[in-house]
C-alpha cells in the first residue's frame, strides 16, 4: 500500500522521504496557507522532493474555473494530480481533465455512491474521508471496504486513497482492506514506527552492553 503525506511542510516531507516512507503527497489551499508561501512555489518544491503523485487542489467551485485552474496546476510538473471536490461541477471538471490526459483526485467523498460516480468520471484517485465519518458516528472503514469491493467488481482503475486518517490503526485497517493508498499527517506516519516493547527492548540491549564493559 502506498503512503502519502498530507502536508505542505517541505521539511516534514524531506524527513519522511529520507526514510523511504512517502510515495506521494496531498496538499490543499489550507495546508499551503500555513506556510505563508505562494501555492505554486510550494507545490513545485514538493514535486522536486517526492517522485510520485502530488495532489494539488483547485480553489474554484464551478466546473469552468476548476478546469482552467486544473490545467494551470498540471502544467507545474508531470507528477501533479489535480484535486477536485465531489459534486456536479467537480465531476464535470474531472471528466474534462481526464479526457485531456490529466490525472484527477476526487476529494470530499463520503459515500459509496459518490465513489462509484468518481470512477465513472475517470478519476485517477478517489479520496473517501474516514475520520470525518467516524466523527459523526459512522463507520469510515466500512466505507473503504464497500468502495474496494465495488471497484473490484467492475474493474475500475480508480485507486482508493484513504483520507482524513486520524491514527495508525486507520492505516493498518486500510491495508487489510486492500486500499491502494492512504494519506495522513507526518505525525501519524511516524507513529507507526513506535511500540513500547521496541523501546523497552532497545533500552535493555543498551543496558546489557554497558554492563558487559564493567
Q: Which residues share a beta bridge with 56?
A: 82
User: Catalytic one among 83, 187, 207, 213?
Assistant: 83
Calpha distance 174→151 (Å, rounded): 15
Are the C-beta atoms of residues 53 and 125 closer than 8 Å to each other? yes
Where residue 65 falls (left for φ over 0; alpha for ψ -120 to 50; beta otherwise) is: alpha
- In DSSP notation, 127-142 reads EEBHHHHHHTT--HHH
Q: Does the annotation count 176 as an active-site position?
A: no
Q: Which active-site residues does the annotation give?
A: 83
Amino acid at each position: 500500500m502506498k503512503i502519502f503525506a498530507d502536508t505542505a511542510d517541505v521539511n516534514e516531507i524531506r524527513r519522511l522521504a529520507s526514510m523511504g516512507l512517502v510515495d506521494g503527497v496531498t496538499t490543499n489551499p489550507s495546508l499551503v496557507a500555513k506556510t505563508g508561501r505562494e501555492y505554486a512555489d510550494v507545490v513545485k518544491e514538493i514535486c522536486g522532493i517526492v517522485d510520485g503523485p502530488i495532489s494539488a487542489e483547485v480553489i474554484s467551485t464551478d466546473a469552468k474555473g476548476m478546469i482552467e485552474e486544473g490545467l494551470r496546476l498540471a502544467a507545474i510538473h508531470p507528477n501533479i494530480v489535480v484535486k477536485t471536490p465531489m459534486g456536479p461541477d467537480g465531476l464535470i471538471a474531472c471528466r474534462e481533465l481526464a479526457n485531456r490526459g490529466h490525472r484527477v483526485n476526487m476529494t470530499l467523498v463520503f459515500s459509496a455512491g459518490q465513489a462509484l460516480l468518481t470512477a465513472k468520471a475517470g478519476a485517477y484517485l478517489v479520496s473517501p474521508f474516514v475520520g470525518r465519518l467516524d466523527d459523526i458516528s459512522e463507520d469510515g472503514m466500512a466505507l473503504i471496504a464497500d468502495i474496494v469491493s465495488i471497484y473490484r467488481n467492475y474493474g475500475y482503475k480508480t485507486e482508493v486513497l484513504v483520507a482524513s486518517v486520524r491514527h495508525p490503526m486507520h492505516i493498518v485497517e486500510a491495508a487489510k482492506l486492500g486500499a491502494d493508498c492512504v494519506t495522513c499527517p507526518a505525525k501519524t506516519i511516524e507513529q507507526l514506527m513506535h511500540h513500547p516493547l521496541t523501546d523497552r527492548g532497545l533500552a535493555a540491549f543498551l543496558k546489557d552492553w554497558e554492563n558487559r564493559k564493567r
